[in-house]
């Protein structure tokens, strides 16, 4: 696994590739991360992330490999990828969609364990009543990501 770190509007963001797919992401730098992509997959990952942060990309086309996770966590992570750009779901709604309506807290745990944040958009999951609760990258980053997506979605809808 090789890490590449890039500057973004939410601070340094690191992405890991295994030569053929994205297999990790992290808010902040990672030890021994390269500052320039080292192979075709990391070049694609950095290019797509830069386009996403610039408001030019709304759907990632990156090959992704999730290296770990329980069956429930993987179901939650798959559901996250189905939340449209610029939209949100509550933890309870995601729990219902994965077949366990009482598992809102477990959805929160799965969000916290998401190994590929931003690409697998855990920031699109919010608390009941629209409350912004919990985010592994910090609520300030969650707000910036949601504002980015909402602004781009509105601009596209009105143009």
Cα first-last separation, the chain: 41
Cα 113 from Cα 26, distance rounded (Å): 11
Cα 116 from Cα 121, distance rounded (Å): 8
| β partners of residue 126 | 90
pLDDT (0 to 100) of residue 13: 96
Burial class (CB in 10 A: 0-12, 13-18, 19+), 64: middle
pLDDT (0 to 100) of residue 33: 86
DSSP 84: P
Domain boundaries, the chain: 2-53, 71-158
Token pair recorded at residue 20: 């053929």
Residue 23 annotated as catalytic: no
Q: Which of 122, 13, 28 is nearest to 78 (CA)?
A: 122
pLDDT digits (tens, 9 = 90+) for 68-114: 999 999 999 999 999 999 999 999 999 999 999 999 999 999 999 99
pLDDT band at 140 (very low <50, low <70, confident <90, very high): very high
Cα 84 from Cα 104, distance rounded (Å): 20
Structural domain 71-158, CATH architecture = Orthogonal Bundle (1.10)
pLDDT digits (tens, 9 = 90+) for 11-68: 999 999 998 999 999 999 888 888 888 889 999 999 999 999 999 999 999 999 988 9
Cα 120 from Cα 60, distance rounded (Å): 9
pLDDT (0 to 100) of residue 136: 87
pLDDT at 4 over 90: yes
pTM: 0.93
The residue from 10, 16, 103, 122 that is catalytic is 122
Cα R_g (the chain), whole angstroms: 15
């Amino acid at each position: 696994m090789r890490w590449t770190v890039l500057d973004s509007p939410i601070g340094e963001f690191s992405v890991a590739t295994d030569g053929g797919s994205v297999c990790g992401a992290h808010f902040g730098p990672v030890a021994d991360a390269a500052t320039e992509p080292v192979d075709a997959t990391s070049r694609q990952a950095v290019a797509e992330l830069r386009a996403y942060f610039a408001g030019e990309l709304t759907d990632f086309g990156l090959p992704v490999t999730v290296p770990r996770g329980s069956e429930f966590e993987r179901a939650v992570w798959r559901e996250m990828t189905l939340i449209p750009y610029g939209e949100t779901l509550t933890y309870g709604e995601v729990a219902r969609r994965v077949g366990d309506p009482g598992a809102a807290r477990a959805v929160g745990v799965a969000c916290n364990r998401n190994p590929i944040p931003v690409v697998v958009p855990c920031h699109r999951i919010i608390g009941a009543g629209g409350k912004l609760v919990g985010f592994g990258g910090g609520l300030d980053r969650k707000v910036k990501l949601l504002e980015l997506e909402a602004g781009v979605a509105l601009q596209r809808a009105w143009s």
